[in-house]
Structure 1
């Protein structure tokens, strides 16, 4: 299972690096039944940190990050993700705490992860 976690985390890191120019510094993922729950640390680029220095800027970064991730996964999950876990991705729930630079993603699959 730890090999699957490592490969899963690598897919997430690569996708976010490609999208935002920087991937998370650290990812912790656990598989529970039909879900993969990932906590991602150190996500923001220096530019995003600067923009997030104001209340409006923080909201803008939060909205852009969470919506973009949800849209990308809903239209085009990373190649090999579903094969890796042996199930089809049904939903992705994600949120981010800008002040602490922590994000969480809950991947829900159509059956328990093998």
Structure 2
């Protein structure tokens, strides 16, 4: 199981690095029934940190990060993700605390992944 979680985290890190120019510094994922729940630490690029120094900037970074990730995963799940867990991705719930540089993603699949 830990090998599958490690591979899952590597897929997420690579995708986010390719998309934003920086992947999370640390990811903690647990598999529960038909869900993968991931907490992502150290997500923001230096530019995003600078922009988020204002209220409007923080809101803009939050919206961009969460909306882009949700759209990307649901319209085009990363290659190998569904094969790795043996199930089809049906929903992604994602949020971020910009001030704390912590994100969370809940991946919901069409059947149990454990």
Q: What TM-score range do you get, normalising by the shorter chain?
A: over 0.9
Q: Give the count of matched residue pairs.
A: 114
Deviations 1:3-25 (A, max 9, x none): 00000000000000000000000
Task: Indicate the residue corresponding to 1:98 in structure 2.
Answer: 98
Gaps in structure 1 of 5+ consecutive residues: none
Task: Indicate the residue corresponding to 2:52 in structure 1.
Answer: 52
Task: Indicate the residue corresponding to 2:31 in structure 1.
Answer: 31
Separation in structure 2 between the aligned mates of residue 49 and residue 43 of structure 1, nearest angstrom: 10
Shift of the alpha carbon at 1:86? 0.5
Separation in structure 2 between the aligned mates of residue 17 and residue 68 of structure 1, nearest angstrom: 13
Gaps in structure 2 of 5+ consecutive residues: none
Task: Indicate the residue corresponding to 2:22 in structure 1.
Answer: 22
Separation in structure 2 between the aligned mates of residue 45 and residue 79 of structure 1, nearest angstrom: 24
Q: For the aligned residues, what is the CA RMSD?
A: 0.4
Separation in structure 2 between the aligned mates of residue 41 and residue 53 of structure 1, nearest angstrom: 18
SS in 1 for 2:44: coil
